[in-house]
């Protein structure tokens, strides 16, 4: 009966104790004839005051909710709305983080493009100077050619 010791404090087991106390008892040899009866009204009148007080306390005590009732409570619309709101808030945060990362990548690409354009301009300017120098050398050679020999 070690289980009973553990569960004795729960209302279900306390009512069970009362039900078993109302059962008809075995007859013994030295029992008086007034105590052994099959009438349930007499059996309730035989109960002790402690048992009746205990029964009154149990009648007013509320049993704890069962598993099904807990599940029904969890499946309530408010719980769904709250979970939907939390999921939506998490999605918004992720979207903001993604947007910030995307903007950072775009800014980095923009800076790289600026550097690339600046390098191209420098290279174009250098190439133009080189072409101008070559043209100048060619023009100078043409000017310095001795035309008398021809």
Question: pLDDT tens digits, residue range 59-77?
Answer: 667 777 788 887 777 766 6
Domain region containing 78: 70-144
C-alpha closest to that of 48 among 23, 18, 25: 18
Q: What is the pLDDT of residue 108?
A: 97
Q: Compute the average pLDDT of residues 88-104.
A: 96
| Residue 28 belongs to a domain | no
pTM over 0.95: no
Same domain, 106 and 139: yes
Same domain, 49 and 105: no
Same domain, 100 and 140: yes
| Residue 27 belongs to a domain | no
Same domain, 80 and 111: yes
C-alpha closest to that of 15 among 44, 66, 65, 58: 58
Backbone dihedral region of 63: left (phi > 0), alpha (psi from -120 to 50 degrees) or beta? Answer: beta
Same domain, 81 and 119: yes
**CA 61, 67, 68 angle in degrees (round to 5)?**
105
| Residue 113 belongs to a domain | yes
């Amino acid at each position: 009966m070690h289980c009973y010791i553990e569960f004795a404090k729960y209302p279900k087991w306390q009512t069970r104790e009362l039900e078993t106390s109302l059962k008809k008892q075995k007859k013994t040899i030295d029992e008086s004839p007034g105590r052994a009866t099959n009438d349930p009204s007499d059996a309730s009148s035989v109960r002790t005051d402690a048992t009746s007080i205990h029964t009154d306390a149990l009648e007013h005590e509320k049993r704890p909710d069962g598993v099904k009732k807990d599940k029904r409570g969890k499946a309530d619309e408010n719980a769904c709305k709250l979970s939907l709101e939390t999921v939506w808030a998490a999605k918004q945060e992720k979207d903001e983080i993604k947007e910030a990362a995307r903007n950072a990548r775009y800014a980095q690409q923009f800076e790289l493009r600026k550097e690339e354009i600046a390098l191209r301009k420098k290279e174009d300017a250098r190439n133009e100077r080189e072409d101008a120098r070559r043209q100048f050398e060619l023009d100078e050679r043409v000017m310095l050619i001795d035309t008398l020999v021809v």
